[in-house]
Structure 1
Amino acid sequence: MSRPTLKAVFGENPSSRFRDICSRILVFCNSRSLRDGICVHSPVIKLGFEDDLYLSNNLLCLYSKCRGLEQARQFFDEMPHRDVVSWTGLLSAYVKSGNHQKALQFLYSMLMSGQTPNEYTLSSVLRSCCALEEFDLGSCIHTYIVKNGMESNPILGSNLIDLYSKCGYREEACNILMHMENSDAIAWTTMISSFLEERKWNLALHLYLRMVEAKVPPNEFTFVKLLAASRFLGLKYGMLIHAHLTMWGTQLSLILKTALVHMYSRFHKMEDAIKVFSLTPDCDAFLWTTIISGFVQSSKVREAIEAFLLMEVSGVTANNFTYSSLLTACSSILSLELGQQLHSRVILVGLDEDVSAGNALIDMYMKCSCTVENAFQVFRCIYSPNVISWTTLIAGLAAHNHIRESFQFFLEMQKAGVEPNSFTLSSILGACGTAEYPTHAMQLHGFIVKSKADHDISVGNALVDAYAGLELFDDAWGVISTMDHRDTITYTTLATRMNHAGHHGMALKVIRHMVKEDVVMDEFSLACFLSASAGMNEMISGRQLHCCSVKSGLGRWISVSNALIDLYAKCQCMKDAHKAFEEMPEPNTVSWNGLIGGLVSRGNISPAFSMFEDMRLSGVKPDSVTLLLVLSACSHGGLVDLGLEYFHSVKEAYGIAPELLHYNCLVNLLGQAGRLDEARDMIENMPLKQYAMIYKTLLSACRVHKNVPLGEEMARKGMELDPFDHTFYLLLAKLYDASGKSDLGDGTLQMMRDLRSFPRLNQRVSFAGEKFNMQM
């Protein structure tokens, strides 16, 4: 059987017919099946159609899309004939791939070949000029456009507006827009977007109104840009834009629907977000992730998980950002179990090397786990860790008190060629501001100065905090003097550290510097200065700060009110403390503790108990500080049984884990009442590590009640924990003296003096005839 001829298959003119079929195939493949289209190249050559410019241009487009620019350039160089479409096609491919410098070089080659660029060529070139901020070349092209009468072209107009805006010539960009004869939504949206990027909200809104007046219908991208501004302008603005797009009858495309859902989610209006989500059946991974992220930001973790499951049921595959949002939710509720389940899913879908999902996993393990091994393993799996990966790991190690390791990873980060950002430096500085690592802070300071990162105010503030935490206040002031800008955080950080170190007078002097530099106090700084006044029992400065809180309106902040209560209670002005308390709309646990503490310190035991009961009745949950205050009140009043009752009832009712101070207070309470054996049993049975302090408390009680055997036992156990604490010798000597054994008392004091002279000697100490070894 003979093969059919071309004439039989393609008709009277087979060449023309075949060319037409190849053209159709190439057009179809250009939009749907790129790799299949390349197969047409071989028969085109075999049948001698390589000279056909139309086919060649279509093939050039295919090569640039699916084989890369190098093979496309090779095909272009082998083309026997080229026209403006050929040159523009390859130039456009360079622009789309981000090779803007090569695109401009290719333009020069095109001009040298004698080809005249058309509006599509110029549009691509203007995009490269905009990306590279090549304003001089862009303005030359603008001149060329005007000379050739193409200024009415809306595409070129939009490109020119974008160029002038990005290069800082927004007034000129506006003039171009206003003089365009055929301005369209793209041109107006480009200009609006430019104003929004510069955070010039009023100008952007004004331009939108001018657009409406010019009867240019906004498109979906206009509204997408305007909705993005609602983050700064508020919910009402976003809802107004929503009303406008409904009024214009703008089709709710997927990108516009996602922008609307994102706007409502940002303001925690999840019901409205869900309504918009349900308006059309169109959805993708980005839209679902926006919904999930909205639930996470609204602290609705259960709803976020439910949305994730619905997403899977609907057949939409979750991406790395979806898992990142869900893992962020795990971090917020400290759920290690849920985080581990999500981690297994991340591995199953092959995202274990993804940097976004990996960063979220590191953060989750650092916050939810008591160890750092899992976070470290995740970090090592990430294909290319970025600055966020390193920073999350370093900050997590610091939070787990692995200071040395965090510093080592900071050095390893630099060796890997990843530059630390301000958050990296702030995190590690916060870890180094302890007495164990003073040299680390200084080394970091040197690195910060060399890398010029000290110009960042957050890094400067972290440096101030590190030096102040080391009580190197002169160095902290030195950092402040070199900072370009100082804010409230700068001075509040310093004053807070001074307060913790007991330098309350120094903390109050910080106010002068703030006033001199017009740095306005906020609620945190004001509360800090009130605490400094309370620490000094300084009523004059305290009342002045109280007046400041009233004038500035900061008195409504609960931290300021609590500081006022603390100030007046410590200065024994209980009427003013009560007044400050009563003016609070919703006192919290700290508020009640301040008032109860003030009453206890003045010996007002009955009112303190009454206040505690009022606190419980009001529904405010007591904490460990409240329990300590109540026990102190019982100790002041000698109410042993009531103290024990409160200890057990409050601990069980509110789930308070007793600390050493609580047990020490109980031991003191029992010891004062002469119930020494009960006190000893409490020490032996308490579920805490034993400290020397609690033995001193019972030893003091033994002196009061002249119980020598128990006192000697407490002294021995305490010295085993802290051999160089001379207080045990003094208390024991006083016990001997009070019990009529002054010779043993003198001997004990002599041993203390010998200990001071020869602290490393092994000594044999004898208490009432009992001998034991004490290793020095």
Structure 2
Amino acid sequence: MLCRTVPKFVNINELYRLEEGCSQLISICNSKSLKEGVCVHSPIIKLGLLGNLYLSNNLLSLYAKRFGLKQARNLFDEMPDRDVVSWTTMQAAYVRHGNYNDAFELFDLMTTLGNSPNEFTLSTLIRSCSETRELKLGSCVHGYAIKGGFESKPVLGCTLIDLYAKCDCTKEAYETFRNMDDADTVTWTTMISSLVQAQKWAEAPQLYITMLESGVAPNEFTFTKLLATTSFMGLKYGKLLHSHLISLGVNLNVVLKTALVDMYSGYQELEYAMKVANQTPEKDVFLWTSIISCFNQNSKVKEAIAAFQEMRMSGIPPHSFTYSSALSACTLLPSLELGKQIHLQIILAGLEADVCAGSALINMYMKSDLIEDALRVFRSIATPSVICWTSLISGLAEHGFEQDCYRYFLDMQAAGVQPNSFTLSSILGACKNQISMFHGYVLKSMAYQDIVVGNALVDAYARSGMVDDARRVIRTMKHRDPITYTSLATRLNQMGDHEMALKTIDSMRADNVKMDEISLASLVSAATGLGTIETGKQLHCFSLRYGLDNTRSVKNSLVDFYGKVGCLKDACKAFEEITEPDVVSWNGLISILALNGHISAALSAFDNMRLAGLNPDSITLLSVLSACSQGGLVDFGMHYFQTMRETHNIEPALDHYVRVIDLHGRAGQLEKAMEIVESMPFEADAKIYKTLLSACKLHRNVLLGEDVARRGLHLDPYDSSFYLLLASLYDELDRPDLSTKTRKLMRDRGMRKSPSQSWVELSGKIHVFITGDRSHPEMNDMEEKLEFLRAEFKSRGFLYRDDEDSCHHSEKLALAFGLVSMPPEAVIRIMKNISICRECHDFIVLATKVVEREIVVRDRSRLHVFKNGSCSCKHYS
């Protein structure tokens, strides 16, 4: 309405035009949140147009958006007339700024002055209750809405559904939804969102189907909510949703693109994620952040950095989560210099004290061993959150600063920040001496109910060799998952107790815990360590049955397993089935080819790896040098060693020098090997001297051998290997007096040789043989078989020296058992805890000529594949 008080100098028609112009201008400025629109305020006052509620309400909305609550409230109080839109606009401004009490006070004033609210007013109040989780107050507003007849209004229904969902009242949310007259797309989407929020993953898709059956078309926000369920429902379901939105012609806006990228990223489907991201040119900071994170998750770190730089060049300023993802890429690369540049950008953006960016900086500096820099960043954060504290404590834990972890743990609590499950698991990861103390805290704080903390306790005890305590924790846990048993099995593997590690399979079955790819890989590793081919094959069958065989970690473990039990064809087949072999896959292939004596094939695999575009790591070069050493390829080996720095930018470590010394030692170039020992950039350790002493034994160089033994014993006087190798060297030179003296010296110093053990698997059972032990029930048959072989050697004219001392060595007993108990065509696979002796090695070589079957012996050092009178080790034992 036109204000009654009209300035005398203004023509009435002109006033109408001015009023219309002001109306259009303020409407445009309000819709686009342009602060320049406030300039209209002065003409409105001068022209006496404040009584025009449309103009005044638009102006009020603009003040609330751009100039804050105080200015908006001043205008509101000055308005000569107010309608329900005015009151609702002001209340909405309070709610938007988090002033929830002021919104309700204004509502009370509104109703006291006799103004009736509408569904938008009540919706604003319910949104306030939603944000504060005030269920009781929200229910009162709901009652007011029912009394006023607004309950079925879609806008009110949506906010009510949201309120009940956030207060974990899914039943009430459903009831509200069912009572609505004509639920539109927004209402259906809100209800789906409430189910997702309540983690009712299966119910949300069911409601979506009902929505389609009801003839209501979903929009981009519907699919955004549904895609959040794919982490539970699986990739196939996610792809089905993607195809649905395409077939329905849903607009692929930037929010929906971000949700799709996140979904495909979670399943390492990088190609699909990038196709979606680039389908339309529109990108915002959230989509860019998802793209960077996606590259990180798929180990495409350089691409992540490139995406971050492209985003900045496009003019989109990063937010704290973007910087966090970029810093994660720098940590993974690693590139400290680039990380420092991003740190500078964070400072310039005023985000150094931000919790998310700060945590990422702490993590980066900790990973780069710059602990003081990490502490400096931590201290710059005014109120560190639990995430920041956890980043600091976990970083200290990784560096082994157990006392500092404990001190900051106490400081954290003193600051009023309670540790979460990740904080406790990080501390437990560092614990060596204080596990029981932290276990006490876990019990006192009831944190043991969290499976993450329980698993960390299991791992901490098992890592410290306290296996019984680890099992006790498992029994007290309310819930157990694959990680629980993987932690235990992995630590048992590291302790060499592979048989006990495999027994966790029975515990998992009893708990109805299914193996995942990580636990399966760990158990295959246990079967590899024990050499139990039947168990390994059963685990392989399990992987096929449950679809775990396509995971790279499982395939890598199968390559290693089959290679180390002498099934090279199966190992190569497992490798060929890996869709995209990584460096670990190629390292495994090169290693097992060399182990089985296929030296040329191992070096060809190295070339193929490089042709595939993968850069070797230090483990790759270690395997290549080992292959050259076993094959006697000195020139090739030195070439690979020399190109480590020049071509591959890999600094040789002590283990690489061990391989080079072994390379020269095997070839008889003992002086050259000694020169390398003297010129190394490291101090020689016991392993170096043991390698060189083995070469002296092979080539019967007693003078150098005695010197090397003396040096090694100076480093470690109680390492029995030096005494045994030196005694064997004297044996080779037929000096039993010196051999006996050396062994007596070892015994006098309290050292004992580990008893020689060999074992064979038959029908799932392990048969163990100890040197000199004749208690096996089939011993008579076994001795007859050994006697038969010796007679055959003699009758066939084989050169063989029958050694009385080695008559009942464990590997011979295991061989005899295999010949007696296994089918004639079966490969005999023998595992041994120490290196095979020369006499037994020669005995088995000749045995393969008599029995004409393959015999595989894996000792502590290498794999021996005996066949047709030869061995894959080229007779170097």
- Per the shorter chain, which TM-score range? 0.7 to 0.9
Q: Which moved more, 1:261-270 or 1:115-124?
A: 261-270
Aligned partners of 2:564 and 2:263: how far apart in 1? 48
443, 447, 451: which one aligns with 1:453 = 447
Deviation, 1:187, is 2.2
- Aligned partner of 1:478 in structure 2 is 472
Query: 2:272 matched to 1:277?
Result: no
- Aligned partner of 1:512 in structure 2 is 506
**Structure 1 residues 242 and 452, CA, compared in 2 at 3 Å: closer, same or farther?**
farther
- Aligned partner of 2:242 in structure 1 is 238
Per-residue CA deviation, residues 35-85 of structure 1 (Å, 9 max, x unaligned), is 9959979998x9999999999988986776667667877998999998866
* Letter in structure 1 aligned against 2:576: P
Deviation, 1:182, is 4.6
Per-residue CA deviation, residues 569-607 of structure 1 (Å, 9 max, x unaligned), is 766xx4x554454455347445546644764xxxxxxx5
**Structure 1 residues 272 and 626, CA, compared in 2 at 3 Å: closer, same or farther?**
closer
Aligned partners of 1:150 and 1:136: how far apart in 2? 19
* Count of residue pairs the alignment pairs up: 720
Aligned partners of 1:473 and 1:747: how far apart in 2? 38
Aligned partners of 1:563 and 1:630: how far apart in 2? 20
Aligned partners of 1:209 and 1:552: how far apart in 2? 29
Aligned partners of 1:215 and 1:135: how far apart in 2? 33
Matches within 5 A, 1:689-708: 689-695=683-689, 698=692
Aligned partners of 2:304 and 2:464: how far apart in 1? 43
Deviation, 1:166, is 4.2
> What secondary structure is seen at the aligned counterpart in 2 of 1:486?
coil
**Structure 1 residues 446 and 9, CA, compared in 2 at 3 Å: closer, same or farther?**
farther
Root-mean-square deviation (Å) = 5.3
Aligned partners of 1:558 and 1:272: how far apart in 2? 24
* Letter in structure 2 aligned against 1:409: Y
* Letter in structure 1 aligned against 2:497: H
Deviation, 1:478, is 1.7
Deviation, 1:518, is 1.3
Query: 2:422 matched to 1:419?
Result: no
- Aligned partner of 2:123 in structure 1 is 123
Aligned partners of 1:675 and 1:253: how far apart in 2? 70
Aligned partners of 2:100 and 2:336: how far apart in 1? 47
> Normalising by structure 1, what TM-score?
0.74
Deviation, 1:163, is 3.6
Q: Which moved more, 1:673-682 or 1:701-710?
A: 701-710
- Aligned partner of 2:337 in structure 1 is 337
565, 569, 576: which one aligns with 1:585 = 576
> What secondary structure is seen at the aligned counterpart in 1 of 2:248?
helix
Deviation, 1:472, is 0.8
Deviation, 1:105, is 6.2
Is the 1:457–1:483 Cα contact (8 Å) retained in structure 2?
A: yes
* Letter in structure 1 aligned against 2:634: L
Deviation, 1:626, is 2.8
> What secondary structure is seen at the aligned counterpart in 1 of 2:576?
coil
* Letter in structure 2 aligned against 1:184: D
Aligned partners of 1:297 and 1:69: how far apart in 2? 43
Aligned partners of 2:663 and 2:257: how far apart in 1? 67
Per-residue CA deviation, residues 358-414 of structure 1 (Å, 9 max, x unaligned), is 3333333444x3533443333333444333333233333333444444444333333
**Structure 1 residues 417 and 9, CA, compared in 2 at 3 Å: closer, same or farther?**
farther
Matches within 5 A, 1:210-359: 211=211, 218=218, 221-226=221-226, 233-246=237-250, 255=255, 267-268=269-270, 269=272, 272-273=275-276, 275-278=278-281, 284-290=284-290, 308=308, 311-312=311-312, 314-359=314-359
Aligned partners of 2:497 and 2:262: how far apart in 1? 48
Deviation, 1:754, is 9.8
Matches within 5 A, 1:259-658: 267-268=269-270, 269=272, 272-273=275-276, 275-278=278-281, 284-290=284-290, 308=308, 311-312=311-312, 314-367=314-367, 369-432=368-431, 437-439=432-434, 441-538=435-532, 541=535, 545=539, 548=542, 552=546, 554=548, 560=554, 574=566, 576=567, 578-579=569-570, 581-582=572-573, 584-586=575-577, 588-589=585-586, 591-592=588-589, 595-596=592-593, 599=596, 607-609=597-599, 612=602, 615-616=605-606, 619=609, 623-624=620-621, 626-627=623-624, 629-630=626-627, 633=630, 642=632, 644-652=634-642
> What secondary structure is seen at the aligned counterpart in 2 of 1:323?
helix
Matches within 5 A, 1:37-186: 88-100=88-100, 103-104=103-104, 107=107, 116-167=116-167, 170=170, 173-174=173-174, 176-186=176-186
> What secondary structure is seen at the aligned counterpart in 2 of 1:352?
coil
Is the 2:590–2:603 Cα contact (8 Å) retained in structure 1?
A: no
* Letter in structure 2 aligned against 1:379: F
Deviation, 1:648, is 1.2
Aligned partners of 2:384 and 2:179: how far apart in 1? 49
- Aligned partner of 1:762 in structure 2 is none
Aligned partners of 2:664 and 2:274: how far apart in 1? 59
> Normalising by structure 2, what TM-score?
0.66
**Structure 1 residues 75 and 584, CA, compared in 2 at 3 Å: closer, same or farther?**
closer
Aligned partners of 2:334 and 2:541: how far apart in 1? 41
Aligned partners of 1:417 and 1:533: how far apart in 2? 48
Deviation, 1:494, is 0.4
Matches within 5 A, 1:664-703: 664=658, 676-695=670-689, 698=692
Is the 1:597–1:629 Cα contact (8 Å) retained in structure 2?
A: yes
Matches within 5 A, 1:703-714: 714=708
Deviation, 1:184, is 3.4
Per-residue CA deviation, residues 540-574 of structure 1 (Å, 9 max, x unaligned), is 65565565556556556565566566666766xx4
> What secondary structure is seen at the aligned counterpart in 2 of 1:150?
coil
Aligned partners of 2:57 and 2:257: how far apart in 1? 37
Flag structure 2 segments of 5+ consecutive residues without an equivalent. 579-584, 611-615, 752-877
Per-residue CA deviation, residues 258-312 of structure 1 (Å, 9 max, x unaligned), is 666767777533664455433xxx6654455455555555666666556555555
Deviation, 1:238, is 1.9
* Letter in structure 2 aligned against 1:645: D
Per-residue CA deviation, residues 648-675 of structure 1 (Å, 9 max, x unaligned), is 1443467576554565566567668876
Is the 2:355–2:384 Cα contact (8 Å) retained in structure 1?
A: yes
**Structure 1 residues 411 and 39, CA, compared in 2 at 3 Å: closer, same or farther?**
farther
**Structure 1 residues 725 and 272, CA, compared in 2 at 3 Å: closer, same or farther?**
closer
> What secondary structure is seen at the aligned counterpart in 2 of 1:623?
helix
Is the 2:527–2:536 Cα contact (8 Å) retained in structure 1?
A: yes
> What secondary structure is seen at the aligned counterpart in 2 of 1:687?
coil
Deviation, 1:491, is 0.9
Deviation, 1:498, is 1.1
Flag structure 1 segments of 5+ consecutive residues without an equivalent. 600-606, 635-641, 757-776
- Aligned partner of 2:757 in structure 1 is none
**Structure 1 residues 261 and 495, CA, compared in 2 at 3 Å: closer, same or farther?**
closer
Aligned-pair identity (%): 45
**Structure 1 residues 481 and 38, CA, compared in 2 at 3 Å: closer, same or farther?**
farther
Aligned partners of 1:566 and 1:34: how far apart in 2? 68
Aligned partners of 1:672 and 1:222: how far apart in 2? 69
* Letter in structure 1 aligned against 2:280: F
Aligned partners of 2:686 and 2:305: how far apart in 1? 50
Is the 1:664–1:697 Cα contact (8 Å) retained in structure 2?
A: yes
